[in-house]
Amino acid sequence: MAKKSGSPTVAAESEGKPLDKKSARTRVRILDAAAQVLSAKGYAGMRLSDVAEVAELQAPAIYYYFPSRDDLIEEVMWVGLADMREFLTKALEVAPADAGAMERILIAVETHLRHELEISDYTTAAIRNAGQLPDNIRDRHDAEEKKYGALWRDLFKAAAETGELREDLDPYLAQMLVMGTINWTAEWWQPNRATIDRVVANAQSYVRAALSPAS
Amino acid sequence: MAKKSGSPTVAAESEGKPLDKKSARTRVRILDAAAQVLSAKGYAGMRLSDVAEVAELQAPAIYYYFPSRDDLIEEVMWVGLADMREFLTKALEVAPADAGAMERILIAVETHLRHELEISDYTTAAIRNAGQLPDNIRDRHDAEEKKYGALWRDLFKAAAETGELREDLDPYLAQMLVMGTINWTAEWWQPNRATIDRVVANAQSYVRAALSPAS
DNA sequence: TGAACATGTGAAGCCCCATTAGAATCCGTC
DNA sequence: GACGGATTCTAATGGGGCTTCACATGTTCA
């Protein structure tokens, strides 16, 4: 179940430090490692020694970059969602102006899936551990999750208003069912069983048919 | 996120011991408690002291019933899946003889959802922690999961053969997308947002439309 | 009643792991 | 080519949690 690590985007926010110094790169290496271990072992199962090993340094070095284990985890979880939201926002911005509500939903499906399956670790860490966080970390995560959900809610609201969503589906429930459809892919997808393109195509076809009124 | 505990069915297999003795009931109390804690805290986060508290006894007492923490967890995870499989098997057996392939899939959707949302803790524990188990526990779990997946695979195979599954969907991918649709409900459903009946109705409508060829 | 067996307890052992302390090493700059 | 900050290491500290052990309490049945 070991996954790829790469974290190309990783909203490099930090606190005003330059981004290309050796220091910054080490910080990212630690975050990547943490995402990988967190995704595989879960909140309580992630050990700093494991993270250190993946990041190729000694555990105490982590404290040079993060005040505590929980702070590191909080950052990973937050980046996972924030990155995803940024991705989706951008994707919707560049969508053709004449795209209908359903087409915008399908764009969101593709964006979410590609991000989830390609960038991966951060997102799967965020998804899998959302329910297991202690209260102190949960707050920032929940806030970010709400923002991401709001993007989707707007898409469904629009579809309901333009009649592109079947009447016998509750918009809220439909949204949750779609998010389940795509979130779950991270649990079963493996590169050797089907290409990402195939998964995206099938998921889009599936969602469009599930939501659209009979023509 | 605390959930209900109840474990009505709990395939009471054990090793030939009588089922109604005080002892057996205590054993079930411990299993129920473990399922609840496991579901909430994850594999590594589940503490025997938490389980003991929920089960209303002292932690060492658990060792009278289970050889180790891992054995207890293994049993919870296994029961979660085995119970579900039994449920689904029975539901398909009593299905009307003239039910089509699609109807049988919708029966499976309903059965899975009701079991997941009503019986809950065992299933959510099994679902959430499947990826975080150490190898020694994983084996029995994977084997059972494969059996459950086989039931679904047959349903989709049948639908593909009778033409009740759209041609542009890969049967395997379609199965995974449907299972995502329903598995994910455990992550967001709350009794106060929608009744189980509504969720079931929406999910069935969603899945049928997603899979069926345009009429 | 009392003897065997079934259940449950409290205290202690021991390993693992986050975290801290203090020193070593690297690296650019004067 | 050595000073100073940045970065990383090794070696301890301390608490938490699974597990064991020896004993208490309860229960069943002759």
d(CA B137, CA B151): 23
What does the pLDDT average to over B35-43? Answer: 97
DSSP state of B189: -
- Residue B179 forms part of a structural domain: yes
What is the least distance, in Å, from the CA of B205 to any CA of chain A?
Answer: 8
What is the least distance, in Å, from the CA of B202 to any CA of chain A?
Answer: 6
- Residue B25 forms part of a structural domain: no
Query: In the prediction, which pLDDT does B215 show?
Result: 74
Contacts of A213 (CB under 8 A, 6+ apart): A163, A164, A165, A166, A167
d(CA A108, CA B130): 28
User: Which two tokens mark B10?
Assistant: 């709990």
Cβ atoms < 10 Å from Cβ of A194:
17
Q: Which of residues 58-77 of A touch strand D (CB under 7 A)?
A: 58-61, 64
Query: In the prediction, which pLDDT does B189 show?
Result: 95
- Residue A38 forms part of a structural domain: yes
- Residue A14, pLDDT > 70, answer no
Query: In the prediction, which pLDDT does B143 show?
Result: 95
B18 CB neighbours strand D below 7 A: no
Query: In the prediction, which pLDDT does A19 show?
Result: 55
Alpha helices in A56-195 (DSSP H): 69-93, 101-114, 121-129, 135-161, 171-183, 185-188
Residues A120-160 pLDDT 10s: 799 999 999 999 999 999 999 999 999 999 999 999 999 99
B69 CB neighbours strand C below 7 A: no
- Residue A200 forms part of a structural domain: yes
Are the C-beta atoms of residues A11 and A82 closer than 8 Å to each other?
yes
- Residue B185, pLDDT > 70, answer yes
Query: In the prediction, which pLDDT does B20 show?
Result: 62
Percent of chain B residues topping a pLDDT of 70: 91
- Mean pLDDT (chain B) is 91
Which residue range(s) make up the domain with A116? 22-211
From residue B99, alpha-carbon distances to B91, B96, B158, B205 in Å are 12, 5, 12, 17
- Residue A102 forms part of a structural domain: yes
What is the least distance, in Å, from the CA of B41 to any CA of chain A?
Answer: 5
d(CA B170, CA B54): 45
| Residue at token pair 């690590």 | A5
What is the least distance, in Å, from the CA of A124 to any CA of chain B?
Answer: 11
Query: In the prediction, which pLDDT does B17 show?
Result: 44
CATH number at residue B83: 1.10.357.10
Q: How far is the CA of A125 from the C1' of C19 (A)?
A: 24
Are the C-beta atoms of residues B139 and B76 closer than 8 Å to each other?
no
Are the C-beta atoms of residues A37 and A2 closer than 8 Å to each other?
no
B68 CB neighbours strand D below 7 A: yes
Is A59 near chain B, with CB under 8 Å? no
Chain B (6-45) residues lying within 8 Å, Cβ to Cβ, of chain A: 40-45
- Residue A58 forms part of a structural domain: yes
Which residues in B lie closer than 8 A to residue A191 (C-beta atoms)? none
Query: Total structural domains in chain A?
Result: 1
Chain A (130-169) residues lying within 8 Å, Cβ to Cβ, of chain B: 130-132, 166, 168-169
d(CA B7, CA B14): 15
d(CA B165, CA B12): 37
- Residue B30 forms part of a structural domain: no
Residues B129-167 pLDDT 10s: 999 999 999 999 999 999 999 999 999 999 999 999 999
For A1-4, which contacts have Cβ atoms below 8 Å and span 24 or more sequence positions?
Answer: A1/A40, A1/B131, A2/A36, A2/A40, A3/A36, A3/A39, A3/A40, A3/A120, A3/A121, A3/A124, A4/A120, A4/A121
Which residues in A lie closer than 8 A to residue B199 (C-beta atoms)? 173
- Mean pLDDT (chain A) is 91
- Residue B24 forms part of a structural domain: no
Contacts of B13 (CB under 8 A, 6+ apart): none
Among A166, A199, A207, beta carbon nearest to B173: A199
Percent of chain A residues topping a pLDDT of 90: 84
Residues A161-206 pLDDT 10s: 999 999 999 999 999 999 999 999 999 999 999 999 999 999 999 9
Q: How far is the CA of B62 from the C1' of D22 (A)?
A: 17
Choosing among A37, A128, A132, which should be mutated to test the B contact, i.e. which has the most B CBs within 10 A?
A132
- Total H helices, total E strands in chain B: 10, 0
